[in-house]
Amino acid sequence: MPMSRPTSRWTAGWAPRRTSARARGGRAGTALAGVLAAALLAGCGLGGSRDAGGGQRDAGGQGATGTSTKALPAPDPTRCPAGAGQSGGGQDAGGAPGPGRDRAPRGPFLVDPRSQAAQVAAANPATAQAIAPLVQTPTAFPVGDWLTDVTGEVRSRTAAATASGSTAVFMIYAIPHRDVAAGFSAGGLPDAGAYRQFTRQVAAGIGAARAVLVLEPDALGQIDELAPGQAAERYVLLRDAVDVYASLPATSVYLDGANCGWIAPGEMARRLAQAGVAHARGFAVNVANYYRTGDEVSRAEIVAGLLGGAHYVVDTSRNGRGPASGLANAWCNPPGRGLGIRPTTETGYPHADAFLWVKTPGASDGECGRGDPSAGTWWQRAATDLVRNASE
Q: Can you say which residues are annotated as belonging to the binding site?
A: 262, 289, 331, 359
CB atoms within 10 A of CB 229: 8
Catalytic residue among 58, 365, 372, 385: 365
Determine whether 365 is an active site residue: yes
Between helices 380-388 and 116-123, what is the axis angle to 10°? 110
Neighbour-count burial of 49, counting CB atoms closer than 10 A to its CB (0-12 exposed, 13-18 middle, 19+ buried): exposed
Residue 347, by phi and psi: left (phi above 0), alpha (psi -120 to 50) or beta? Answer: alpha
CB atoms within 10 A of CB 226: 17
Taking the C-alpha atoms of residue 358 and residue 284, their distance in angstroms, rounded to an integer, is 10
Of 117, 56, 143, 124, residue with least CA distance to 340: 56
Catalytic residue among 218, 295, 353, 385: 218
Neighbour-count burial of 96, counting CB atoms closer than 10 A to its CB (0-12 exposed, 13-18 middle, 19+ buried): exposed
Residues in binding site for substrate: 262, 289, 331, 359
Please tell me the chain's helix, strand, coil percentages from 3-state DSSP, rounded to the nearest 5: 35, 10, 55
Taking the C-alpha atoms of residue 11 and residue 353, their distance in angstroms, rounded to an integer, is 29
- The residues, ordered by sequence, that sit 6+ positions from 203 with a Cβ below 8 Å of its Cβ are 244, 245, 247, 248
Report whether 168 contacts 210 (CB < 8 A): yes
- Which residues does the annotation mark as catalytic? 218, 365
